Amino acid sequence: MRRLGDVLIEQHVLTAEQLDAAFESKPREVLLGDWLVSQKMLTTGQLGGALAEQFSVPYVDIDVTTVDAQVARLLPEDFAQSRQSGAIKVEGRQLTLAMVAPDDIETIAEAELMTGYQIKPAVAMAEDIEDLVSRVYDDRAVARQTIVDMKLAELRELQESGEDNTASIISVEQEDAPVVRLVQAILSGAATAGASDVHLEPHKPEMRVRYRVDGELQQVMTIPNHIEDSVISRIKVMADMDTTENRRPQDGHLNVFENGKRVGFRVSGIPTVDGQKLVLRLLDEGGKNYSLDNLGMMYRDNTMLRQMIAKPHGMFVVTGPTGSGKSTTLYAVLQHLNGDDRNIVTVEDPVEYRISGINQVQSDNEFGMGFANALKYIMRQDPDVIMVGEIRDSETAMTAIQAALTGHLLISTLHTNDAVGAVQRLADLGVDNFKIAGSLLGSVAQRLLRRVCENCKQPIRPNENLLDALDPEGKIARSVDFFRGDGCKKCLGTGFSGRLPIFEIMPITPDITMAIEAGVPHSKLQQMAVDAGMVELSTAGLEQAIAGCTSLEEVYFKTSGDRRRSDSKTSSLGKRETDLADHAAGI
């Protein structure tokens, strides 16, 4: 068999001199082809073509979205991983096997024995095979295939026989029932994908299942309408909800075990015109490590926050929209304050995470334990620190302020757009300005920005008009490079992978206290806070964009108040998002 270098020279892809230079610089443990691609001396396609010539087999550029999962799973997962191979196509009695080493006769023989097909080897890139293996054996893919494999025969029989809903529920409680496997795959797939929520939405002709990953909803499958009720019933049974009640909202809680750890789901159901809609919020109790040092705060923000909560009494609030990470920040603050010398009591709706050493109370209006009433009872429990899940009405606001003014440290959340907005929000709830001024220790606003995918990240020169919209004072040099993800298989074409927080912390100085008491306008208070050292959300976002952690467009969308988004899931998303941001900025 010819050497790869000789093939590349024969194909006039590289010269002998270039090849010699590559050999001299290549680390011993790195393969020649991988080294040439990493040094941008070859494209992946050129390497694939050369390998195909070298091994006398076809080269395949695997698109995992077009590979039949049932075909891929003809081989066991551990075999595919250990042999760096994947089944990608069946034609007649012939199975195409993508391999990093297509001359591995032993792997080909074992694959033929396992599958019963004649193996047709093809060469593929190692990362493509890794991506194929990780995707087709993912629980979400298993769930999709479960729908196909089970053919829904027994469920159709139940429906056609006219048996009542009770019989259906009994069926889905059987541990080997197809619906049981389907629901388990949906829940496990959500945990594996790092989703924050699972949406099961009844539509015609199919129920839609979507995961919220990195703050964005992604459709993962559809479920035929004739088994929709069985899927909903199964989840309700697991969550200890009333399976016969379809006209009122319900809440529940269930647990599953994924990779040896328990994952909790908070279940919320509401009736819609097409049926029951369920949303399951993931509560990964085993994977959370609440700490101020793990929040992702910059040093200046961490220091300012610690100074605020070090005070023995007063009110500290975290603000932001739903899904901005407020609860995580609150739990990190509680964990920091937790100690044998403090009595910490919380009232939450619901209690999402349990923290050892902290007395957590579930809010329940039906039993007279709403936020306001619960606070009154907690005040009799000799608390040092009180956490209220959310201040959402006048009674709760008044009671919380009273607690803060009478020697307790009270922390809570508010729904406002920025840190300074907490003052106006409390005033809107009927709290007097002098009480706000006398109790407020500080306010934190936060957002979660999508992180640029490291695999496809590329430097770009930003549109100056967009940068002007975020940095009107010109503090940032216009020659600075920013980054954007082009979209790749690892990030499913979005250009983003994971999220990072940004914070805006309003300090309370004597001048700001006097301004709050005097009821100065929001804009004036905002400027005073900036002069006192507050870094605004847009500036904090720009710092992350300059560092290459997120894109300029993401900062604009999450901090400017313009929520319009491109829903493209292709690699062109980055460009479309830029165009949309330019339009929104008035370019």
pLDDT interval class at 3 (50, 70, 90) = confident
User: What would you measure as the largest C-alpha separation in the chain, in angstroms?
Assistant: 86
The two three-digit tokens of residue 339, written as one number: 């100690």
Say if residue 93 is in the same domain as residue 194: no
Confidence at residue 227, expressed as pLDDT on a 0 to 100 scale = 81
What single-letter amino acid sits at 491?
C
Say if residue 437 is in the same domain as residue 520: yes
Confidence at residue 565, expressed as pLDDT on a 0 to 100 scale = 39
pLDDT interval class at 152 (50, 70, 90) = very low
pLDDT interval class at 159 (50, 70, 90) = low
The 10s digit of each residue's pLDDT in 240-277 is 998 888 888 988 889 887 766 778 899 999 999 988 99
Torsions phi, psi of 316, nearest 5? -125, 125
Is residue 581 one of the residues assigned to a domain? no
What is the spatial distance between Cα 351 and Cα 367, in angstroms, rounded to a whole number?
A: 16
The CATH number covering residue 219 comes to: 3.30.450.90
How deeply is 235 buried, as exposed, middle or buried, from its count of CB atoms within 10 A (0-12, 13-18, 19+)? buried
pLDDT interval class at 1 (50, 70, 90) = low
pLDDT interval class at 74 (50, 70, 90) = confident
Radius of gyration, alpha carbons of the chain: 29
Confidence at residue 285, expressed as pLDDT on a 0 to 100 scale = 58
Look up the domain containing 32 and give its range: 4-137
The 10s digit of each residue's pLDDT in 26-60 is 777 677 777 777 777 777 778 888 888 888 889 98
pLDDT > 90? residue 200: yes
Is residue 40 one of the residues assigned to a domain? yes
Say if residue 36 is in the same domain as residue 131: yes
pLDDT > 90? residue 133: no
Is residue 164 one of the residues assigned to a domain? no
Range in 2-6, 137-141, 318-322, 566-570 the model is least confident about: 566-570
Confidence at residue 286, expressed as pLDDT on a 0 to 100 scale = 53
The two three-digit tokens of residue 307, written as one number: 């100074």
Torsions phi, psi of 153, nearest 5? -60, -50
Q: pTM of the entire structure?
A: 0.63
The CATH number covering residue 104 comes to: 3.30.300.160
Say if residue 275 is in the same domain as residue 303: no
The 10s digit of each residue's pLDDT in 343-396 is 999 998 877 778 888 898 888 777 777 888 888 888 888 899 999 988 988 999
pLDDT > 90? residue 531: yes
Say if residue 437 is in the same domain as residue 537: yes
The 10s digit of each residue's pLDDT in 498-528 is 889 999 999 999 999 999 999 999 999 999 9
3-state secondary structure at position 567: coil
Instruction: Single out the residue in 252, 283, 314 at which a domain terminates.
Output: 283
Range in 105-119, 199-213, 435-449, 553-567 the model is least confident about: 553-567
Confidence at residue 171, expressed as pLDDT on a 0 to 100 scale = 45
Average pLDDT over every residue of 324-353: 88
Say if residue 188 is in the same domain as residue 112: no
116 vs 309, higher pLDDT? 309
Is residue 232 one of the residues assigned to a domain? yes
Which ranges of 32-164 would DSSP assign to H, the alpha helix?
32-38, 44-55, 69-72, 77-82, 105-115, 126-136, 139-150, 153-160
Torsions phi, psi of 20, nearest 5? -60, -40
Average pLDDT over every residue of 467-480: 77
351 vs 306, higher pLDDT? 306
Confidence at residue 26, expressed as pLDDT on a 0 to 100 scale = 73
What is the spatial distance between Cα 309 and Cα 410, in angstroms, rounded to a whole number?
A: 9
Say if residue 529 is in the same domain as residue 404: yes
pLDDT interval class at 67 (50, 70, 90) = confident
pLDDT interval class at 170 (50, 70, 90) = very low
Instruction: Single out the residue in 234, 258, 283 at which a domain terminates.
Output: 283
Confidence at residue 161, expressed as pLDDT on a 0 to 100 scale = 57
Q: Average pLDDT of the chain?
A: 81
Say if residue 419 is in the same domain as residue 545: yes
Three-class DSSP labels, 324-383: CCHHHHHHHHHHHHCCCCCCEEEEECCCCCCCCCCEEEECEHHHCECHHHHHHHHHHHCC
Say if residue 122 is in the same domain as residue 209: no
Say if residue 417 is in the same domain as residue 544: yes
Q: What percent of the chain has pLDDT over 70?
A: 85
What is the spatial distance between Cα 556 and Cα 159, in angstroms, rounded to a whole number?
A: 51
Is residue 527 one of the residues assigned to a domain? yes
Is residue 570 one of the residues assigned to a domain? no
Is residue 460 one of the residues assigned to a domain? no
pLDDT > 80? residue 545: yes
What single-letter amino acid sits at 139?
D
Contact 236, 277 (CB under 8 A): no
Instruction: Single out the residue in 113, 137, 161 at which a domain terminates.
Output: 137
pLDDT interval class at 278 (50, 70, 90) = very high
The total of structural domains in the chain comes to 3
The CATH number covering residue 530 comes to: 3.40.50.300
Give which of 266, 245, 244, 242 is closest to 254, Cα–Cα: 266
pLDDT interval class at 17 (50, 70, 90) = confident
Confidence at residue 489, expressed as pLDDT on a 0 to 100 scale = 67
What is the spatial distance between Cα 257 and Cα 177, in angstroms, rounded to a whole number?
A: 19
Average pLDDT over every residue of 558-563: 61
Say if residue 274 is in the same domain as residue 306: no
pLDDT > 80? residue 75: yes
Say if residue 262 is in the same domain as residue 332: no
Is residue 582 one of the residues assigned to a domain? no
Confidence at residue 469, expressed as pLDDT on a 0 to 100 scale = 81
